[in-house]
Every structure is written in C-alpha cells, then in structure tokens.
Amino acid sequence: MLIKNPPSWQIPEREATPEHVFLNRRHFLGAMAGGATSLIGGSAFAAKKKTPDPTADLYPAKRNEAFELDRPLTKESDASSYNNFYEFGSHKRIAMEARKLKIRPWTVSFEGMVEQERQVDIDTLIRAMPLQERLYRMRCVEAWSMVVPWSGFPLKELVKLANPQMSAKYIQMQTFNDPEMGPGLKQFWYPWPYTEGLTMAEAMNDLSFMVTGVYGKPAAAQFGAPLRLAVPWKYGFKGVKSIVRISFVNKRPKTFWENIQASEYGFWANVNPEVDHPRWSQASERTLLGDRVPTQMFNGYGEQVADLYK
Ligand code: MTE
C-alpha cells in the first residue's frame, strides 16, 4: 500500500494543476490501476540490468566558483525524490518509474535553421564540452524551491556547435516521445512532446546551462538524463528534460505548458514575486528544507539577465 505523507512545502496536486488536466489525469490513473503490479515488476527488472554511465569518469566536474550561493544545498535525497517528469506520470514521486528511461544509445538532433542538420551521439557531445559544476537556485512555479549542484556546460557552447543561421530567432528543445519508454506519453490530452524554447539572446546568456550531471555524478533519470536545460531565472518548467531535438526557428515556439494553459504558464516565465499565479501568490516560496523565504526578482539573477528584457 502506498502511504502518502506530503511534506509541509508541497502544494496539493489539485491546486498546482489546471482543473481539466487534473480531472483527465484522475481518469487515466483509474484506467491504469489494473496494470500497476506489472509496471512495478518492470521497474525492478530494469533496475537490475542497469549498466554504468559511459561518461561517469568525467565527474565530479570542477566547480565554477562564480556560481557559489548563500543558501545551503538541498539534500540529494530530497531533490531526487520530488520531481516533475510527466512522461512517467503526473505525480512527484517519479524516481522509480523514471528508471524505464533508456539513456543509451541516445542522439540529439540539430534541426531547422542550421547550416547543416545533423545528429550527434550524446557521449561525443558531452566529451566535446567543457564540463563544470554550478550551484543554481531552482524555483518551481508551484512556489517551492531548491538549490542544486548541476554539472554540464553553457548552452552557448552547444549553439556554437550546432552552427545556426544568423537569422534564427529562437531555440526550441524537445523531449523524447516514445510511450513504450515513458507511459505518461499515453495520456493523449497532453500536447506531447514536451517542448520548451528561449530567444537566441536568452540562449546565449552565460547562465543558460545544459545539464548532464547532478550531485557530482551523471544525472539520475528523474532529473532528465542524459541532457536537460537549466535556466535559473525562469520557473522550473522551462527546464526541459531528456532532450532529443534542438531546432532553430524564427517563430516563437508554442511550449508544452503554454499549450495547456497560457494564462498560467506563459512562454517567458521569468521568476517575479510581484506577479502572482492566478491561483496562488508568488511573493514567497518554500525551500525543500521547509523554510519559507521571500522570492527574488529573476530568482536573484537580475544582474546577469535583467538587460535581456529592457
Ligand atoms: N521536462 C519534461 N520533459 N517533462 C516534465 O514533466 N517538468 C518540468 C521541468 N522539465 C518536466 C520537464 C517541471 S514542471 C519542473 S518544475 C522541472 O522539470 C522539475 O525538475 P526536477 O524534477 O529536476 O526538480
């Protein structure tokens, strides 16, 4: 039996999710209930077969001291057991289910307005990049936050490698869309694949970071292995996980959450304590340690990014 004991900082699922999505999801969970035993059996089997990550030797990456923070790090056990990854289900205790994610072989394609479209093997990509560790605050739109030691490389390095045309205005990133691997993808009412985007100026900002590792080792599946975005001045839903496709386009991409509810989860999604979510205040946040702290404009990264929005 599953015993649910939600921590103090957790918003009830009904409040955090647009109502029509919540109701559809309940329906789906009901239909899936009969298959639960075999799903759990499958996860355990996948766990047994787990092979070491081929890039494990690159970690821990050297910490970039420019990104030291005043706040304590979130405990790894907390950050890795409270995740959003709808491809595996629409609850937060997703780590076990996410073990179905098969991260090798994995390729990332560069498409759209690039000099040449191509596919890159993830290990070749990671080994070609200057890996470093950065401590970033992460503020979810649901008003909880954490501090995570991400490892990875600046997004601008990946942009250089992709070689987009000068006229490209936006970068769009998408997650895998294979329902055999991510059973949540069978929930037809979501606008799969998970899609996010940035302007090219945002993508070239030094804070935009491609994550390949967390807590000094290759990223665990639930964090969005093997490649995920971190843009710490924006709400957490911009941090698209398990990326397979990167496109350069001249029209603003329609993002996953914007498709679901544009008035609540818009394209820009810059952290702003003065603009409340229609259903709750954004003035403060609960850290995963349980403290309530005031939310900062741009999540405290205004010095680095405020100029982008003048
Ligand atoms: N990326 C994909 N592909 N699928 C998702 O469900 N959830 C987003 C974002 N990236 C999500 C995703 C949301 S809502 C948040 S808050 C963060 O991932 C959560 O990241 P974390 O689980 O590492 O805390």
State the 10-residue block means of pLDDT for the chain, 310 residues long. Answer: 39 51 46 35 45 94 92 95 96 95 97 98 97 98 97 98 98 98 97 98 98 98 98 98 98 97 95 96 94 97 97
Residue 95 corresponds to which amino acid? A
Instruction: Please give the Cα distance from 164 to 111 (Å, whole number).
Output: 9
Q: Is the CB of 87 under 6 A from ligand 1?
A: yes
Judge contact between 183 and 89, C-beta under 8 A.
yes
Please identify, by atom number, the ligand 1 atom nearest to the C-alpha of residue 85.
Answer: 6
Predicted local confidence at residue 17, as pLDDT: 54
Q: Is the CB of 17 under 6 A from ligand 1?
A: no
Q: Is the CB of 241 under 6 A from ligand 1?
A: yes
Residue 274's SS3 state is coil
Instruction: Please give the Cα distance from 229 to 256 (Å, whole number).
Output: 15
Alpha carbon nearest to ligand 1 atom 16, residue: 236
Alpha carbon nearest to ligand 1 atom 24, residue: 83
Q: In Å, what is the CA distance from 200 to each residue of 110, 205, 293? A: 15, 9, 32
Alpha carbon nearest to ligand 1 atom 19, residue: 84
pLDDT digits (tens, 9 = 90+) for 198-249: 999 999 999 999 999 999 999 999 999 999 999 999 999 999 999 999 999 9
Judge contact between 235 and 220, C-beta under 8 A.
no
Predicted local confidence at residue 68, as pLDDT: 82
Q: Is the CB of 89 under 6 A from ligand 1?
A: no
Strand spans (E) along the chain: 107-112, 118-121, 132-139, 144-154, 170-175, 195-199, 209-214, 217-218, 228-230, 243-249, 284-287, 292-294
Predicted local confidence at residue 28, as pLDDT: 41
Q: Ramachandran region of residue 101, left (φ > 0), alpha (ψ -120 to 50) or beta?
A: beta
Q: In Å, what is the CA distance from 71 to each residue of 62, 74, 289, 298, 300? A: 20, 9, 11, 16, 12
Q: Is the CB of 257 under 6 A from ligand 1?
A: no
Alpha carbon nearest to ligand 1 atom 10, residue: 240
Please identify, by atom number, the ligand 1 atom nearest to the C-alpha of residue 175.
Answer: 3
pLDDT digits (tens, 9 = 90+) for 283-299: 999 999 889 999 999 99
Predicted local confidence at residue 22, as pLDDT: 44
